[in-house]
Structure 1
Amino acid sequence: MKIKNVLLSCLMLAGALNASAQEAKTEYVPNPYWYIQLQGGAQYTLGEINFKDLISPNVQVTVGRQFNPVFGMRLAVNAWQSRAGVDYNATQTWVAGPTGTGTVVAGPVIPAGTTKVKWMYVAPGIDLTFNLSNLFCGFNPNRVFNFSVFAGGGVNIGWNFDKDSNWDNKDLMNQHTAAGNQNWQYAWTGTKVRGFGRAGIAADFRLSDAVSLGLEANANTLSDHYNGKKASNWDWYFNALAGIKINLGKTYTTRTIEAPKPVERVVEKVIERVVEKPAPAPAAPIVEAKAEPFRRDVFFKIGTVNIRPEEAQKVKEVADYLKANPNAKVEVTGYADRGTGNPTINNRLSKQRAEAVFTSLTKTHKIDASRIKVDFKGDTIQPFAKDVENRVAICIAE
């Protein structure tokens, strides 16, 4: 019966050790990679005529390099068509000038109306890109939505800005130009190259590791001569684009973090022997009493690293123990719960929680820093069964 009880106890102990062991964890490691992107959409060129009359088709081809989860660079070639126009909202009279006798001779009446123009262009540019999702939420290759911003510049090469083929109501434009109207003072011919600045936002919706749906909106600014009209300010056009983004090569690799091995506990069985006539006991050796380890668990709210007032008393108790035992030292270990956040965020939280206790001990309670050891485990180790209890800094002094 005793043997059966001993075996049963061993089995229960082994089960408890196995239950406390944690599973191995997989971590994502980002890789630099190239990508290409094909997009199409529409352009709006800022102007004074009806909105719909300033909308034109637009395409963009992009080749980019993602250097790390946040920072990248791309070459984007945007092209197709831009538009402009002027509303002549009142009739005008062409005044030819005074005659030799001083009499003013009136020319023909120029009618009101709208004249519009369209032309072709191609605009290669280089942008710096910043993935804000990875910056603020940590790297996660399985994230469905990623939000980015970008800024850069390049050159806009325009052509086919001519009255013979691309002007709507060009006769009206000619009449106003002949009458001295200055609206089209910057009208140009041939091929023109102008610098531009660009900024915008981008959203990527993950379809697979290699393919995502990319949406983009960008704003571009150029000199006042771009759309042919004299306005004494910068010209602008805006693009809205959608298309497919293809990643070239592996964007990440994985590695396995082994779970910490459970602490092996050795249970010794003490057998006492009963003797009817005990021999005279030798003098007992003097054993120096050893102080038991002193432990306090300082708990934090989710996502925070500040010591709450109700937890500050525990830090004071640790400090009082160290002051009462001048040879004692304390180890402060920070943790974060695995149920929230991600490994990167949790690793930072656990470190900052341990450092918060260290700062309180050294600054508030004047404990020498050499007596404090600081460590942090992120969410790789969970000392408690409940997530809420794993947002903790454990202090063990001895």
Structure 2
Amino acid sequence: MKLKRDLTAIALGLSTVAMFAQTGNTETRQIKEEGKTVFNPHWFMQVQGGAGYTLGEADFGDLISPAAALNFGYQFTPVWGLRFGVSGWQAKGGWVNPATTYKYNYLQGNVDVTLDLGNLFCGYKANRLFNPYFFVGVGLNGAFNNDEAVALNNQGYEMAYLWDKNKISPAGRAGLGVAIRLAEKVFFNIEANANVMSDKFNSKKAGNADWQFNALAGFTFKFGKPSRTTEPVYYEPTPTPPPAPAPVKEEPAPAPVVEEVKPMTQNVFFKINSAEIRTSEENKIASLVSYLKEHSNAKVSLCGYADKQTGNARINERLSKERAEAVAEALKAQGIAESRITVDYKGDTAQPFGTAEENRVTICIAE
């Protein structure tokens, strides 16, 4: 019998603990700033292959050669990065009369500045499917294996800029490409680029620079974490004030209790680049309305702010004004006379709080 009573007591105790645990889990914390996906600087590698075309005096198809490229780079921001690479393989030259072509090899070291056009014009998005990009750079071209051109020259073709062992030329380059997302760190890329070099690149004197074009396709591999997700920022819970002490009765008669009207301050927070009052902030508007209706002589001062870390001074001035006016309209919609409301705004010239999230605010003081 005693064992049965003990088991019953243990069961009741466990049920009580579970009930309190469940009650605690149902409490929700108020979110100040939602979690979001943000860019993370990272390294990347590109492996490409395709076809090259060297401008010359022959049919287009006769001057197409195989081409390849290997690039390593670092993406500093969502918009721009820097890459170092080696490209090349084979190039061809042509002679008109009698018609003939000759081939030679080259390798070119490149340094390119890259610009992500998708993030530049549409904002950063970690899982964007198509990422167009532009690049511009410089290189050093080393051509070699020019035996066929030497043989043609010996046959009477008279190439004015003939070179034998090798030819080193500076190069300028630019191009466009698109990276197609296959996975978080793997992209399929298609790229076209143009390279301008010395007139001596193809051994022929033309009186202008030589041009070499490439159409390449391959894969981009990103290393590390290209993006990360931030945790939500929560408001700190407001501490419950201690109960007011009971009034002290004085003899012979109790002293009259004079009620002191204390000012009310409410901070209505907004999301980044927004002047819309969130559902989570509506209870603060309701508290202001209740205070103003209870104290008919009280007035309320509203002052809007914007965080200095986002946007610019002109945008932030407009945004802070819209935030203050949004609260004013919400008060008027609930019956508070316009004559009792004063609206001001500071833009980002003043930062009343220590974090950017808290400075997206309208401070309301009713007294």
Q: What is the CA deviation profile of residues 189-220 of structure 1, one whole-angstrom value per residue up to 9, with x for unaligned ones?
A: 11111111111122111111221112211111
How far the C-alpha of 1:25 sits from its partner, in A, is 3.7
CA distance in 2, matches of 1:50, 1:86: 10
Contact 2:303 2:344 in 1 (8 A): no
**Structure 2 residue matching 1:198: 3-state secondary structure:** strand
Correspondence for 1:330:
302
Correspondence for 2:45:
36
CA distance in 1, matches of 2:102, 2:348: 77
Find the structure with the greater CA-based Rg. 1
CA distance in 2, matches of 1:396, 1:23: 18
2:318 paired with 1:356: yes
2:148 paired with 1:155: no
Q: What is the CA deviation profile of residues 2-22 of structure 1, one whole-angstrom value per residue up to 9, with x for unaligned ones?
A: xxxxxxxxxxxx9xx979955
CA distance in 1, matches of 2:258, 2:192: 82
**Structure 1 residue matching 2:81: 3-state secondary structure:** strand
The equivalent position to 1:230 in structure 2, one of 196, 200, 205, is 205
Contact 2:51 2:67 in 1 (8 A): yes
How far the C-alpha of 1:136 sits from its partner, in A, is 3.6
**Structure 1 residue matching 2:119: 3-state secondary structure:** helix
How far the C-alpha of 1:242 sits from its partner, in A, is 0.5
Q: What is the CA deviation profile of residues 69-118 of structure 1, one whole-angstrom value per residue up to 9, with x for unaligned ones?
A: 33322111101111121323xxxxxxxxxxxxxxxxxxxxxxxx322221
2:179 paired with 1:204: yes
Contact 1:329 1:371 in 2 (8 A): no
Give TM-score, length-normalised by structure 1: 0.58
CA distance in 1, matches of 2:60, 2:165: 27
| Sequence identity percentage | 33
**Structure 2 residue matching 1:163: 3-state secondary structure:** helix
Q: What letter matches 2:136 in structure 1?
A: A
CA distance in 1, matches of 2:214, 2:319: 52
How far the C-alpha of 1:37 sits from its partner, in A, is 1.5
Q: What letter matches 1:396 in structure 2?
A: C
Q: What letter matches 1:356 in structure 2?
A: R
Give TM-score, length-normalised by structure 2: 0.62
Q: Could you tell me which runs of 5 or more consecutive residues in structure 2 were left unpaired when the two chains were aligned.
A: 1-22, 244-252, 276-296, 325-342
Contact 2:318 2:347 in 1 (8 A): no
Contact 1:331 1:375 in 2 (8 A): no
Contact 1:334 1:351 in 2 (8 A): no
Correspondence for 1:66:
75
How far the C-alpha of 1:284 sits from its partner, in A, is 6.3
RMSD across aligned C-alpha pairs, in angstroms?
4.8
Correspondence for 2:219:
244
The equivalent position to 2:108 in structure 1, one of 123, 130, 151, is 123
Q: What letter matches 1:225 in structure 2?
A: K
CA distance in 2, matches of 1:130, 1:176: 44
How far the C-alpha of 1:396 sits from its partner, in A, is 3.5
CA distance in 2, matches of 1:214, 1:370: 42
CA distance in 2, matches of 1:151, 1:395: 49
